[in-house]
Amino acid sequence: MLLWRIGADAIPTKDNMIKRFESIDPTRPLCCQDIESTCHVFFNCPVAKAIWLTSCWGFRASEHQISSCEDIIILVVEPPKAPCPIEDLWKITLNMAIILDEIWQIRNQVLFQDREVNILLSVKQVKHKFIEYSQALALEPAPNANHPQQAWEPPPPGWIKLNVDTTVSESFASIAAVARNDKGEVIKIWAKPISKCTPIMAEASALLWGTQLALNEKWSHVIFEGDAKNCIDLLSSESSSSDWSVHNVISSVFLLKALFLGVKFNWIKMDCNSAAHVAAKLSLNSRISVCFYKDNLPGALELACKEDCPTFSC
């Protein structure tokens, strides 16, 4: 969105604001010289130059012809030669976009919050965001629509996959979560009974519980999977819930999403979610909360894990 606003010359810099309002101080908030323009904010200001130099392989704005908003977009979308393979050039574009955002954040903090510039802190924030976003974008692409996923699939290395499911009876319901690593090994399985509710409410509650469990385990990169497409779609598209009964629960999941370094929500078929379904049924039948590890799985649950992942072994 920031890049679009820059390209449309819709950034509220001093030179743009003075065209609309007479009582605007036209000087630059970061260096207090002349009139603040878009090109100056992002490339010519000493603060911007320092951030570019330390955050983007020693990039020097003075060595490039940047005199318009169009030049800025071309630079980011088609970055100059950089010390990386051609297949990784998208990372340069990502890094440049993050730097532009950081510079704009600094400018607004100085102008509206009377805060001091901290170049070292800004460089650290750029690096942190780049790592976070590049890891998220580097996730393996979803299976082709013409070849639907036929079995549970392990997450990428360094990630945890947490499958959730629910079972609803006439008197109450149960929810379950199954956490496995990139080798398909069970880390932990939880299940517990909950009050009677609608199926969609139970599915939403399972997703919320799953995110809470993952945070309690201090997992930073997690893929959540479930077979309730209506709930997963709400989380994947970040659209407003059409069902008021799950609005608060889905909103809570959104809030918790921000606490992960990497997070993704996937919809899968019921056939690929056997372990979570069996765990939910075990809790429903026993009416107690349970927690299992790799070495103490009940026979039915061990079999379900093998159905999900044929390479799984206790």
User: Domain residues of the chain, as ranges?
Assistant: 2-137, 160-308
Better pLDDT: 71 or 111 = 71
pTM: 0.54
Least confident of 79-83, 250-254, 268-272, 292-296: 79-83
Compute how many other C-beta atoms are within 10 angstroms of the C-beta atom of residue 89.
Answer: 14
Residues paired with 222 in a beta bridge:
160, 263
> pLDDT exceeding 70 applies to what percent of the chain?
85
For the residues 285-314, what does the mean pLDDT come to?
83
What is the pLDDT, as a whole number, of residue 221?
A: 95
- Classify domain 160-308 at the CATH superfamily level: Ribonuclease H-like superfamily/Ribonuclease H (3.30.420.10)
Dump pLDDT digits (tens) for 45-82: 889 999 998 887 778 877 888 889 999 999 998 887 66
In this predicted structure, what is the pLDDT of residue 62?
77
Residue 27, pLDDT score: 61
HSE value, Cβ hemisphere, 13 Å, CA-based, for 103: 30
Q: Of 175, 204, 179, which is closest to residue 191 (Cα–Cα)? A: 175
pLDDT over 50 (residue 37): yes
- Model confidence at 244: pLDDT above 80: no
Q: Express each pLDDT in 277-290 by its tens digit.
A: 999 999 999 899 99
HEC profile of the chain: CHHHHHHCCCCCCHHHHCCCCCCCCCCCCCCCCCCCCHHHHHHHCHHHHHHHHHHCCCCCHHHCCCCCHHHHHHHHHCCCCCCCCHHHHHHHHHHHHHHHHHHHHHHHHHHHCCCCCCHHHHHHHHHHHHHHHHHHHCCCCCCCCCCCCCCCCCCCCCCEEEEEEEEECCCEEEEEEEEECCCCCEEEEEEEEEECCCHHHHHHHHHHHHHHHHHHCCCCEEEEEECCHHHHHHHHHCCCCCCHHHHHHHHHHHHHHCCCCEEEEEECCHHHCHHHHHHHHHHHHHCCCEEECHHHCCHHHHHHHHHHCCCCCC
Say what the pLDDT of residue 276 is. 94
Quick one: pLDDT at residue 271? 85
